[in-house]
């Protein structure tokens, strides 16, 4: 009997691994930090908002994790290298990367200045590329593989009529980076995958869960296309994240995992 068959839960064991999470003060970043803390990883948490970063660091320490907070966004090559250096100085290595940093800016194309479009592309695409590059170099140097999880969206596959040209383009680019790096690093043991949710509860989408007429109308129109019949909750992303961060996904790379209640299936 193989070890996986004898103890299948061991495939999801990430205890002692060193995980870097960027955008750790945001909705998905904080969730990723808490899940990985509870699963036993050592954490390097990076975010630009100092107060919120300290709050999630305290939460993860209370869970029982060792935490190294880094008050930086992955905005430049130097920033990304500093985040990786913090991991090396505190824990000696990097095993998992979750890029949860990013942004959206909604406007019809004729109303959106090119600078706004480029800002979204920089935050979502360039910074993800820079962070994957910096951590990937460390993982390759270690020679023991690694797990990189990028943040995509159902909007990387599907358009939206409400002014999402920047966001949709940026998430489609994340899908391309994921597939290309999956191919490039396939033989090395470094896997690169992406989680692609649809609407899930966060401070930005909380209004859609409300009982006012606008929320009800928006929700009804959206749910008409979601086979599961509900919006997403943060916990719906916990399982996919742990899967992609653990040995359970060793044969998965260049993969976009849609956590969307079936939204992209129909």
- Active-site hit among 164, 167, 258, 263: 167
167 assigned to active site: yes
Helices 127-142 and 77-91, interaxial angle, to 10°? 40
Structure tokens at 180: 């290309």
Q: Residues near 173 by Cβ (< 8 Å), separated by ≥ 6? A: 121, 124, 125, 156
Neighbours of 179 (CB within 10 A): 17
| Residue with the two structure tokens 């706004």 | 116
Active site residues: 167
């Amino acid at each position: 009997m193989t070890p996986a068959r004898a103890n299948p839960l061991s495939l999801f064991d990430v205890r002692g691994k060193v995980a870097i999470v960027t955008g750790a003060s945001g909705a998905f970043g904080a969730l990723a930090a808490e899940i990985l803390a509870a699963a036993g990883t050592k954490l390097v948490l990076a975010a630009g908002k100092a107060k919120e970063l300290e709050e999630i660091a305290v939460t993860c320490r209370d869970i029982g994790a060792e935490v190294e907070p880094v008050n930086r966004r992955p905005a430049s090559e130097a920033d990304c290298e500093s985040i990786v250096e913090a991991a090396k100085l505190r824990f000696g290595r990097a095993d998992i990367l979750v890029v949860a940093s990013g942004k959206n800016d909604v406007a019809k194309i004729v109303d959106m200045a090119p600078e706004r479009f480029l800002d979204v592309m920089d935050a979502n695409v360039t910074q993800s590329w820079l962070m994957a590059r910096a951590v990937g170099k460390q993982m390759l140097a270690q020679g023991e593989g690694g797990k990189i999880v990028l943040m995509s969206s159902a909007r990387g596959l599907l358009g939206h009529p409400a002014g999402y040209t920047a966001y949709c383009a940026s998430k489609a680019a994340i899908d391309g980076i994921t597939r290309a790096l999956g191919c490039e690093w396939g033989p090395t043991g470094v896997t690169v995958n992406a989680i692609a949710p649809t609407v899930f509860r966060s401070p930005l989408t909380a209004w859609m869960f409300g009982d006012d007429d606008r929320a009800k109308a928006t929700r009804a129109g959206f749910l008409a296309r979601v086979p599961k019949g509900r919006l997403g909750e943060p916990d719906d992303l916990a399982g996919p994240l742990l899967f992609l961060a653990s040995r359970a996904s060793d044969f998965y790379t260049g993969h976009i995992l849609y956590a969307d209640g079936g939204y992209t299936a129909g």
